[in-house]
A and B are shown apart, each in its own frame.
Chain A
Amino acid sequence: MDRRNFLTGATALAGLASGRARAAEATEITFYYPVAVGGPITKIVDGYAADFEKANPEVKVRPIYAGTYQETIVKMLTAHKSGTPPTTSVLLSTDMFSLIDEDAIVPIDGLLKSDADRGWLKSFFPAFMENSRTAGETWGVPFQRSTIVLYWNKDAFREAGLDPEKAPANWDEHVAFAQKLTKRDPSGNATQWGTQIPSSGFPYWLFQALATEAGTKFMDEAGTHTFFDKPEAVEALQYWADLSQKYKCHPPGIVEWGTTPKDFFERKCAMMWTTTGNLTNVRNNTKFPFGVAILPAHKQPGSPTGGGNFYISKKVPAEQQAAAVRFIQWMTSPERAAQWSVDTGYVAVRPDAYDTPTMKAYVEKFPPAAVARDQLKYATAELSTHENQRVTKALNDAIQATLTGSKPADRALKDAQVEAERILKPYR
């Protein structure tokens, strides 16, 4: 063997060894995330993780796509119970209390050392932070967040003799417009409904918009009391049921969440209430001019926020938690938040993201992108309590019972309130 050859080989070996030593110093963090909207989300997230590693070579990020929100929390909690949770995960903001009760997450503020870090938590829209805080501590960092907005078909407005540039500003206008927009064939069957508020899956979210507009809240900040049977809530549910049962300008029964955008594209409904997360979808698929507006007001305008937050697991080493904080700070920086909003349609989670060149160019080209931001000053926290999914189900059942005509609004909401009381009593 040639001596020189041997030498190069040895150096290479040494290089390999030192390379491995450096890799061992790097902190590896795992990151579970769900996909809840259309588009090549996994590719985008992988790209972000790679960019982060380039800027922070001492941290390795392993992003793991974990299914829907529901599947992701099932996987995260199962891993937590077996002792090896992911370092960080994106889960519904409303699952905060459940995660605290399972002892699965740590408060973020406990992990922040400098004043600059603590200032970071103040940089988000306050409406999003409402679902991230309880008992004086911050448990989640807003990431993929949304609100409900109204989409309308400008052509349909024109045909019905309405101003195509003006969305209904309040409940009365909403009904009046919807009645004008409802078209029927000679036998009286509707061919185009005036408005559509989906009620499958998670009707409580849409209902919370109506209830907020009517002027009531659903729960306290501790997540131990609910107020489902307040007169304003009954009024809101009655209004929703009346749209189909009295004013006949909304499809009867339960309206599917998933097909609502399609109904809108197919001109089966002239107005729809759905998430801002559908913005890119609607933009790509409508063949008519459409508008996006904040939801019609009653006593006040309003909508709940929705979507996912970053959480950091409890049962992981401190250096991983610290690395996760850096990763999350990087992911929620103004430039990244703006880019994420452009890529997906989610609302950028902090006001200064809207001052970035990326966002400015996007909003200028596509003004509806700013509507969600403008609505945020009226937005409230999404319904979230201890045993959240169980309490939510009680409310969902009540809403569906009223919309299908099997229970009047006041009785249905009273039943839901009684059930919620029963579930929440042990937590007080």
Chain B
Amino acid sequence: MKRWRIARQINGWLFLLPAIAFLTLFTYWPALKTLVEGFYSTARPRRPAHFIGIDQYRQLIDDPVFWQALSNNAWYALVSIPVATGIALVMAIWVNDRVPGRALARMAYFTPTVLPMIAVANIWLFFYTPQYGLLEQVVSIFGGPPHNWLGSSSSALAAVTIVAIWKEAGFFMIFYLAALQQISPVLAEAAALEGASRWQFFRRVQFPLLMPTTLFVLINAIINAFRTVDHIIVMTRGGPDNSTMLLLYYVYQVGFSFWDTGYAAALTMVLLALLAAVSLVQYGWLDRRVHYR
């Protein structure tokens, strides 16, 4: 009996082994290495890396670009996540109903997700172009003043945030749509018999049942808010004057333009710690408040 249990355990571990091997090789080991490197100076040919303790982190606290990247990223996340999720939910409910041209609408909403971010960024680059860009043309029809959307510090971050929302909402809509179709039509009939309004039905029935999906979408949205920087590279390269600098792009710049790998490692650790904290809150606290069927 006991032998059988041990065999079962070995079996289990064997099944886990491929995943563990790959995760260790490509995630845990690099993360550990990054943590260690953050405590060393950047190796230069004539000055090999040596232990400097928390100097990199001290430099980080004094680095105004880091703080700007952090606050930009916070703003970017706080705006793009709720808006993208909200729009995704509304779109899903809309195309879940029996409206004419439903398939077409679903496809249209999903299209931005299929396009590569680099292509999307180039399309939006044209939308935002001063003078003859699409946005400028529309604004000028209504007699609005011209504006250099990506070229002024006040609007550039908002402009790239909108691109992210546009790109993400369709993706999240698919999850909501799938979840909505799992909800039994009996509930809708019961609600109708009780005389519940459309809003009451959504607020009391649909929304609570969608909570697991919402949690999943939120986690993805947060990860994406810190991970997606392709459009920054194409559209602004962090400019003007760092107003669209996001953390990951700053890590890239420090690592692969300045070749200051030690400092880049320290920056990466901050990013990792942030994401770890977020997922801890989500899985530890939010998860318990979500109603799973």
* Residues of chain A whose beta carbon lies under 8 Å from any beta carbon of chain B: 70, 74, 77, 98, 101-103, 187, 189-191, 199-201, 251-256, 259, 263, 266, 268, 387, 389-390, 393, 396-398, 400-401, 403-404, 406-407
Contacts and interface: CB of A to CB of B under 8 A. Distances in A.
Given A252-B152, A256-B150, A398-B241, 11 more contacts: A74-B256, A189-B146, A199-B151, A200-B236, A254-B239, A255-B148, A256-B151, A259-B129, A389-B257, A401-B153, A401-B240
A252 B130 CA distance: 10
B131 interface: yes
Nearest to B258: A390
B140, B236, B240 interface centre (most CB from chain A within 10 Å): B240
Contacts, number: 88
A101 B258 contact: no
Interface in B5-51: 44-46
A103 B46 contact: yes
A398 B46 CA distance: 32
A379 B21 CA distance: 57
A402 to B, nearest CB: 9
Contacts of A390: 257-258, 260
Nearest to A101: B44
A406 B240 CA distance: 10
Contact of B240 (A70, A266, A389, A404): A404
Given A254-B148, A254-B151, A396 B258 contact: no
Q: Report whether over half of chain A's contact residues are helix, strand or loop; otherwise say mixed.
A: loop
A325 B140 CA distance: 58
Contacts of A387: 258
A401 B258 CA distance: 21
A266 B132 contact: yes
Interface string B146-158: 1010111100000
A389 B260 CA distance: 11
A406 B259 CA distance: 29
Interface string B234-254: 001101111000000000010
A200 B239 contact: yes
Contacts of B259: 77, 98, 102
A251 B236 CA distance: 17
B148 A252 contact: yes
A251 B45 contact: no
B143 interface: yes
Contacts of A101: 44-45
Interface in B115-142: 125, 129-132, 140
13 contacts: A101-B45, A200-B236, A200-B237, A254-B151, A256-B129, A256-B151, A259-B125, A390-B257, A397-B239, A397-B241, A400-B153, A404-B152, A407-B241
B100 interface: no
Interface centre among A103, A189, A201 (most CB of B within 10 A): A189
B143 to A, nearest CB: 7
Given A187-B143, A251-B148, A70 B257 contact: yes
Nearest to B261: A81
A389 B255 CA distance: 11
B185 interface: no
Contacts of B44: 101-102
A404 B153 contact: yes
A190 B150 contact: no
Contacts of B240: 199-200, 253-254, 400-401, 403-404
B101 interface: no
B143 A268 contact: no
Given A400-B240, A404-B241, A253 B146 contact: no
Contacts of B146: 189-190
A77 B236 CA distance: 25
A263 B241 contact: no
A156 B152 CA distance: 28
B45 A102 contact: yes
B258 A389 contact: yes
